[in-house]
Amino acid sequence: MVRRDQVIRRDFAAGETGRGPSVPSHGLANDPRAGQWDGRRMSKRMIADYKTFVVTDGEGVRNSLYVSGCPFHCVDCFNSSIWDFRAGHEYTQALEDRIIEDLKAPWVQGITFLGGEPFLNTPVLLPLAQRIRREFGDSKDIWSWTGYTWEELMRPGETPDKLELLRLVDILVDGRYLKDQKDSLLQFRGSKNQRIIDVPKSLDAGRPIIWAKLHDQERDIPEIYLKDREAGEGAQAS
């Protein structure tokens, strides 16, 4: 068996420019050509996990759907166990109905698509997103993570299903995870090249517009807690 740290990663679009921040990724992830990966053929309609009422996968209380399969193969990916498109269990109508029912809770702000690679699982996520819009309109928002950059999704030659899904998404967290740009202070991202993009505003502007509520930390949380505790202990000692 080939270990994850032995995977060979390639830039399949060498020489192509304008692919977004930190592309090519210099061996830290695979970099595809436009249309090279087609989720309509690659997806096996498999789900790695479905979580309800989480607060770590975007703004507010959310439900999160983790799809299986991702060929980006980012170095140190935290979900490398679901790179395989056959990992997990099959997406079913019963699960979709449960997702819709769970979204009816008034305290749930929306749903988040993660993976795996959501934009290579459009046979699952495109019909689901369309149903969410039919049943909830804009009262529930849709967030999605992707290894693609905004520029890659919008480039000529990319498969049309990706843009169809993108048009139904409110907030996109884009870009590969790059371990040499890892930063634990980033909001909802793992590395500095990744962006939180307001999709409707970006589509209107014809360029990526960063989410207006972006707020990265200035200090690590453990550091803040430690200083607060030391201050409290000092006050007690005096």
Give per-residue pLDDT as tens, 19-28: 999 999 999 9
Residue ranges per structural domain of the chain: 4-237
CATH of domain 4-237: 3.20.20
- The pLDDT value recorded for residue 228 is 52
Q: Does residue 15 have a cis bond before it (omega within 30 degrees)?
A: no
Average pLDDT over residues 40-61: 97
Confidence band for 220, pLDDT divided at 50, 70 and 90: low
Average pLDDT over residues 145-150: 98
Average pLDDT over residues 133-142: 98
Give the integer Cα–Cα distance in Å for 47 and 52. Answer: 14
Residue pointed to by tokens 């997406």: 91
- The pLDDT value recorded for residue 232 is 52
Give the integer Cα–Cα distance in Å for 96 and 203. Answer: 28
List the one residue out of 202, 106, 121, 223 whose CA is nearest residue 154. Answer: 202
> For residue 121, is pLDDT > 50?
yes
